[in-house]
Amino acid sequence: MRLRRTATALAVSAALLGAGGLPAAAQTGQNAQARAAQAAQSHQAVQSHQAAPVAAAPHRAAAPVAAGTVTTPDGRTYLADRQGRALQLHGLNLGKTDTVTEAGIAELAASGFNLVRLNIQWQKVEPRRGHYDTGYLRYLGRVMDWADRYGVLVLVDWHQDVFGPAFGFNGIPAWATRTDGIPYEPLPGDDWFANYFQPAVGAAFRHLYDDADLRAAQAAAYTKVAATLRGHRSLLGYDLFNEPFGPFTGDPTDPATQIENSAAMERGRLADLYRRLIAAVRTADQDAWLFVEPTVLIGQGVPTQLPGFSDPRHGSDRIGYAPHYYDTAVENGADWNPADGFIEAYEAVIRAYPAAHRMPVLVGEWGPAKATGKGNAELIRRQTASMRGFATGWALWYDCHAAEGGGYCAYDADGRPAPGKEPVFAAYAAAIAGTPGAESYDPATHTYTLALATTAVSRCAWTELKLPATAFPHGARVSVTGARGALVHQAPGEARILLPATPPGRHVTLTVTAR
């Protein structure tokens, strides 16, 4: 949700993070349920498990196929390709109100990103009941073609903000909006999130969740998009419902009431919606990953109450978890205060649910509007470090250009990293042939390190590093310690390392320094 969040959510933050920090249950997590020239350079071709022992040097970009998962001894679950390499996805959101272009995808890939979170809306897919906009569907197909070409993965996000256009926002079509005749007037000012608590909006969500004809229409729209986009190599999957909300009863300024409403929705109506939409996509696509989101209270240290979900596909489940990572005070315009406990509170509750269900975590949205202040610049740095500890990937909000670090844009007006957002453009390992360990990038010395423990995969698959020019403007040197006979292949903006003579169980460190 990126603009300003309602002041009522601040009350939740204050109650949970104030004098005494998290409630005991949140501290333990026991209540949780169990991103162009460089892009066109040579890339490692994806091999199958039956490939030759030493993979050949690549010839063009290719998005990895997320065919499964790998779980590390510390409980982190990563998306994995067909070779068993752990995947790390770094990317940007785009497509909500702007038109995605090939140049935009090329820029994203050239910046070192390998993921697009593509925001789409039901209102654009089906502007009139029973009428699917073929022009819009063709546009989505073109975006996928460009992603195929530049070797990035796409997470298709079914986006909504304050339900849809009937309330002046976007998402659910006006024809699918039922308010029981309750009047609605947009609230003044920037606190748009407070509109969620209006009775007319609550009624619209209740009917969406409960009315059989709307349930069927929504499922049919999801099936239509899945049938249109299936088969693209770049298609990672679907974020099934952006920042879910619902009918609200009681005082919205009361933190306990917010938590009670959120929990009831996650256990009931929202869980039922996810089950319907999982089934709908699976009628058209057996391979795409399907990601579920908790409510926005996860950002305030409130554990999700979502249940686990079964996947009707043939083979292992492909269901992931896609929380957002926003600090309420920052969303309301403050420069981040590292003493507010936000990072600690979020980390305390984010792991239990995906660990219990062996789900990969992909943070669908995160980041402050501006990082020109000292606090928000530190927040960007801390969040990138934080997500290395629990997520297989993330998508920053938002892929755009703005002067002087304005808005949520990742780039400044000249296409450079926006002030304070440089950590978003840091080096990282896109595919790890082995068990991932500690990973870091020091911008002061332009040094990147990755620790890994070798496995059988390390001897026949390349570890792939993204080394964007923003991190290594004059090129990079790669060194390997702890391994014999390491092969290193470098191209502009990237490097690949193969360890064919290193037996499993060795601790290896890859170090990249600036030229």
Domain 430-515 matching CATH 2.60.40.1180: the answer reads yes
- Ranges of CATH 2.60.40.1180 domains, the chain: 430-515
pLDDT grade, residue 10 (50/70/90)? very low
Query: Looking at residues 193-201, what average pLDDT do you find?
Result: 96
Query: Which range has the worst mean pLDDT, 54-68, 192-206, 253-267?
Result: 54-68
pLDDT for the residue 175: 98
Q: Which two tokens stand for residue 422?
A: 């440089």
Does pLDDT of 161 surpass 50? yes
191 neighbors 6 (Cβ within 8 angstroms): yes
Residue 61: predicted pLDDT? 59
Q: Does domain 7-35+121-393 sit in CATH 3.30.2130.10?
A: no
Output the pLDDT for position 358.
95
Q: Categorize the per-residue pLDDT at 62 as very low, low, confident or very high, splitting at 50, 70 and 90.
A: confident
372 Cβ contact list (under 8 Å, min separation 6): 404, 405, 419, 420
**pLDDT tens, position by position, 447-485:** 999 999 999 999 999 999 999 999 999 999 999 999 999
- Cβ pair 495, 432 in contact under 8 A: no
Q: Tell me how far apart the alpha carbons of residues 13 and 7 are, in angstroms, rounded to a whole number.
A: 10
pLDDT (mean) for 412-428: 96
Predicted confidence band at 267 (pLDDT cuts at 50, 70, 90)?
very high
3-state SS, 173-223, equals CHHHCCCCCCCCCCCCCCCHHHHHHCHHHHHHHHHHHHCHHHHHHHHHHHH
Give the model confidence (pLDDT) of 205-222 as tens digits: 999 999 999 999 999 999
Mean pLDDT across the chain: 89
Nearby residues of 40 by Cβ (< 8 Å), 6 or more positions away: 60, 61, 150
- Give span(s): CATH 3.20.20.80, the chain: 7-35+121-393
Closest CA to 81 of 70, 71, 66, 69: 66
pLDDT band of 405, cuts 50, 70, 90? confident
Strand partners, 41: none
Could you read off the pLDDT of 366-389 as tens digits, one per residue? 999 999 999 999 999 999 999 999
pTM beyond 0.85: the answer is yes
Q: Is the pLDDT confidence value at 37 over 70?
A: no
> Quick one: pLDDT at residue 49?
26
d(CA 31, CA 214): 32
Q: Looking at residues 105-129, what average pLDDT do you find?
A: 98
pLDDT at residue 464 in the model: 98
